[in-house]
Amino acid sequence: MAGPSEKDQNPTAEEKKEAEESEENGNRGRGGRGENEDENGGEEEEYEEEEEEGERKSGGGPPSEREKVERLLRRLSSGPVRLRVHDVVIRGNAKTKDSLIEAEVLDAFRSASTMQELFQAAGAANERLRRMDVFDSVSITLDAGPPELPGTANVIIDVAEAKNPLTGDIGILTKPEARSWSLEGSLKLKNLSGYGDIWDASGAYGWDQASEISAGLSLPRFKAISTPLMARVSLLSQDWLKFSSYKEHLLGLSFGLLSTTHHNLAYNLTWRNLTDPSRTASKIVRRLLGHSLLSSVKYTYKIDRRDSHLRPTRGYAFLSTTQVGGLGPYSKSLRFIRQEFDLRGAFHLGFYNSAAALNIGVAAGAILPWGRGFMDLPSPLPERFYMGGHSSPVCNLSGPTSLLGFRTRGLGPTDSRRFIASKSDKDDSPASSERDVLGGDLAVAAFVDLSFDLPFKLFRESGIHGHVFINAGNLAKLTENTFKDFSFWNFGESFRSSAGFGIIFPTKLFRMEINYCYILKQFGHDNGKTGLQFNFSSP
């Protein structure tokens, strides 16, 4: 019998590497050679059989890279591949603390016991590091562990810190619910201390004389607290003279206590002053003017499973917001409980074309004071619900606020403004028939929207599409003992409604609609109008 060839006696470096990889993959899942051997012996034998089969197919030589990949994919698809993390190596963080990055990713990697779970953990860790907003890029590589520890892997995290920690932007933004435009700018200083901290300052000036200046600090985590923390101080001035005869001035401090994918908890401490420079406010509004303290905690639960925010065709979304004000002994503290819900559903339709979809939504909210004799007290004016404006009910979750065809704060309870005679008045007729919008303590709104592609190819390729809609809503007062006269039947009978059709122009920044609205039902002091309406909504 012929002896072994010289090549078999002196294997090449490539063959040595292949033998080590084969031994390592065959022993995956074993913490040591004497531990868990019975549990994973089947996997080792199966993998050795695949190796032998691969070598037979390749003529007895070492398998090619393609064969290695195919073998790995077959193994991953056949079942879990036992693998544990031996070490996590972090590179590229000149300023960012290792402890911060480790706290974000270690738990996910340590809990992985298979290669499939390790891939998922790497994807989740990459996303978490990117959300910190202090790195220009993040790359995670999975490498083989030490040869003496088969069935292990090393995780290598390469980060590129922001080259310029100071960034800024400026732009013109719109607030559809207030029908206002504003010039806004901001500055951000990232990772000043190496703990992922972001310092920012922003300012805004609106054409409606609204202005805001604020500064804040956010941390991705603080010691044992694993959720992001935020603190912000702000000075805000908002003009509602045109709608409700008051201006709002706010000086506040807010703290973000909890922020996750679906949950948000914040505390707000704000000194508020409501004034009437025009001296024409109605009697009801005048009683609510002056200084007050807003000490409140606000919890928000949000889930959005729609396939698109600008043009949803499948999925659902739900929003629940609970706010409790009056946390403190101060006599001027506003005491109230405010709750609102918003539920949306998108259903793909199979007729006409594949993009046709039916969107349905219903939203409701209520606000009530609390404390001794609470039903005799009014609710805070700015916290009440207002309806109307130029925002789409389909695009964003905003509670019972949108009603197409009606202007901003265009329906609900009102009160006559104060009459002040001018020098030019020569009779006793009122100088103006305008009224102050008072908002509601109870609000309900609903809509149905059918979207479809337009017949032109250019429109379809650009995402421009049409829709027909019908929406309805109503507001009611419950406080100051008016709940005794409240009737669900009368509330349902007094719903305002509108219908129409339009063309939608979706962009990356906003959704623009040109709609023809027809008012189906409104009452004497409502501000609805049949005709064209332009709507802008941000996702």
In a domain, 211, yes or no: no
| Range with the poorest average pLDDT among 68-82, 227-241, 425-439, 468-482 | 425-439
Same domain, 68 and 96: no
pLDDT reading at 132 higher than 70: yes
For residue range 2-25, list pLDDT tens digits in order: 444 444 444 444 444 444 554 444
In a domain, 518, yes or no: yes
In a domain, 143, yes or no: yes
State the pLDDT at residue 4: 41
Domain end marker among 145, 161, 177: 161
Q: Which helix (H) or strand (E) segment is 380 a member of?
A: none
Q: Mean pLDDT over residues 467-496, rounded?
A: 93
pLDDT reading at 141 higher than 70: yes
Same domain, 41 and 113: no
Report which of residues 174 and 377 the model is more confident about. 377
Same domain, 357 and 373: yes
Same domain, 507 and 448: yes
Beta-carbon contacts of 18 under 8 Å, excluding residues fewer than 6 positions away, are 62, 63
Same domain, 139 and 267: no
Nearest residue to 284 via CA among 196, 189, 381, 358? 381
pLDDT reading at 523 higher than 60: yes
Q: Residue 365's CB: how many other CB atoms inside 10 A?
A: 22
Same domain, 389 and 278: yes
For residue range 262-283, list pLDDT tens digits in order: 999 999 999 999 999 989 999 9
Same domain, 58 and 110: no
Count of domains forming the chain: 3
Residues of the domain holding 61: 16-78
In a domain, 246, yes or no: no
Domain end marker among 161, 195, 218: 161
In a domain, 288, yes or no: yes
In a domain, 514, yes or no: yes
Separation between Cα atoms, residue 85 and residue 144, nearest integer Å: 9
| Range with the poorest average pLDDT among 162-171, 176-185, 292-301, 390-399 | 176-185
pLDDT reading at 39 higher than 60: no
Tokens of 534: 């332009």
State the pLDDT at residue 422: 57
In a domain, 4, yes or no: no
Same domain, 92 and 42: no
Q: How far apart are the first and last CA of the chain?
A: 78
Distance of CA 219 to the CA centre of its chain: 18
Separation between Cα atoms, residue 101 and residue 93, nearest integer Å: 9
Angle (CA) 263-309-533 rounded to 5° is: 120
The CATH code of the domain that includes 118 is 3.10.20.310
Same domain, 45 and 124: no
In a domain, 186, yes or no: no
Same domain, 129 and 275: no
Same domain, 306 and 447: yes
Q: Is 231 exposed, middle or buried (0-12, 13-18, 19+ CB in 10 A)?
A: middle
The CATH code of the domain that includes 444 is 2.40.160.50
Same domain, 25 and 119: no
Domain end marker among 106, 129, 161: 161
